[in-house]
Amino acid sequence: MTISVMEISWYVDYLYTSHMLMVVQDNHMIPNVPFFLSSANTSTWPATKSFRKPNTQSTASLPNLPALRQYSHHVVPVANTLQPQFSEFERTEKSLGEVLDLWENQESEQGRGLYVKDWHLMAELEGQGKGVGEIYSVPECLRDDWLNPPYTPSPRTKPINSSASTSDFRFTYVGPALTYTPLHRDVYGSYSWSANVVGRKMWWLFPPDKLGRVKDENRELVFDVRHLEGEGGAMKVLQEEGEIIFIPSGWHHQVVNLDFCISINHNFFASPTLPHIYRALCVSQDRVEDSIADVKDMIIERLGTKGDQWEKEWFQEVQNLLQMDAGWGWRGFWETIMKNLKCPPSVNAPIVSRRDEWIGGVIKQYKKRREWVVLDTVRTIVEDIESWLV
């Protein structure tokens, strides 16, 4: 789908009725188009009240860093955005308190490029027996989340399963002006949403069919689109303080903090995303198979091609590497679908017939693959899923 800036309705009314939920699903999630939610959606968040300080110099607030001191003991991933390394930044782990010290030391330059990224604040709080309601409330239209633990503001009564298919993708980002995230696509080809609790961000967005101008001579994605002519033809948008932006599946994006920013991000997907997620996993598997084609030859040389033993060993080897490369393989993909069929994360979901149509569609495609025959355990999971479809 080719989308121009003028075709996108960026703002969605913040009053959520069942009709508005369907509008978000039909106009954005299903056709895979971005949108904003207004700052009214975050105005009552506890984080909004505690993490901001008034700023007479700008429309954006100042960060209330002392309010973050209660999390000083959290060990957080830190990217040094002044030190690019290949397709990422130099990464370390520090206590949040140590990073806050560097930011608050006005005479030191050491904290200038440091960006706390992928901080699992919500999981940390829940692990301490607290509820995420002390930080935020997920907007109702974004609660049909098949990737993260079902949203609840209260402390959880049961521990969260930390298997590969149910990992935590609820992140908090904290960093000064000009820190940034290079051009990338989100994990699994998922949706994502990002709320600016403090500060403003600039986004460069690229639909899946608009990547031609952001690749180098080796057909690799560039690190920073700001160095390209016309910024690579990006859809460039400003996210104001308090606003929430929805990034569709498979859209590449780059983000720069215009002010000192604190943001809350979720990677997520739901049944409308399944065709995109399925295709992304197929592409990842093709890449893995190409990278170890010599292993396939060695397996065939050792076992021969009679029977299916060589295929079972080959596909299991591929699945093991796919798990490391893409974060999951076919087993994790189908287990995630099964888990969400048995325990839907939200009442705010597409009607069952639509959900089952998307699930049935990817099952139909999967059955054409050789894995359907060879991966016995995965086939059993898929057959279980089929029994749940209406």
Strand order in the sheet with 191-198: 11-12, 35-37, 244-247, 191-198, 261-268, 170-175, 114-119, 75-85, 88-95
> Can you tell me the distance from the alpha carbon of 345 to that of 340, in angstroms, rounded to the nearest whole number?
7
* Domain regions of the chain by residue span: 5-269, 272-388
**For residue 354, what are the CA distances in angstroms to 159, 185, 222, 336, 358?**
31, 26, 38, 18, 6
pLDDT, the chain, mean? 91
Is 5-269 a domain of CATH 2.60.120.650? yes
3-state secondary structure of 320: helix
> Can you tell me the distance from the alpha carbon of 220 to that of 40, in angstroms, rounded to the nearest whole number?
39
- The angle formed by the CA atoms of residues 246, 322 and 381, to the nearest 5 degrees, is 85
> Going residue by residue through the chain (390 aa), what tens digit of pLDDT does each one get?
333 343 455 555 544 455 577 888 888 999 999 999 989 899 999 999 999 999 998 889 999 999 999 999 999 999 999 998 877 899 999 999 999 999 999 767 889 999 999 999 999 999 999 999 999 999 999 999 999 999 999 999 876 654 433 479 999 999 999 999 999 999 999 999 999 999 999 999 999 999 999 999 888 999 999 999 999 999 999 999 999 999 999 999 999 999 999 999 999 999 999 999 999 999 999 999 999 999 999 999 999 999 899 999 999 999 999 999 888 999 999 999 999 999 999 888 888 999 999 999 999 999 999 999 999 999 999 999 999 997
Residue 368 CB burial class (10 angstroms; 0-12, 13-18, ≥19) = exposed
DSSP 279-315: HHHHHHHHHHHHHTHHHHHHHHHHH-SSSSHHHHHHH
3-state secondary structure of 58: coil
DSSP 72-116: TT-EEEEEEEEEEETTEEEEEEEEHHHHHHHHH-TT-STTTTEEE
Handedness of CA 298, 302, 308, 313 (dihedral sign): negative
Looking at residue 14, its amino acid is Y
At 115-136, the pLDDT tens digits run 999 999 999 999 999 999 999 9
At 22-60, the pLDDT tens digits run 888 888 999 999 999 989 899 999 999 999 999 998 889
3-state secondary structure of 345: coil
pTM of the model: 0.91
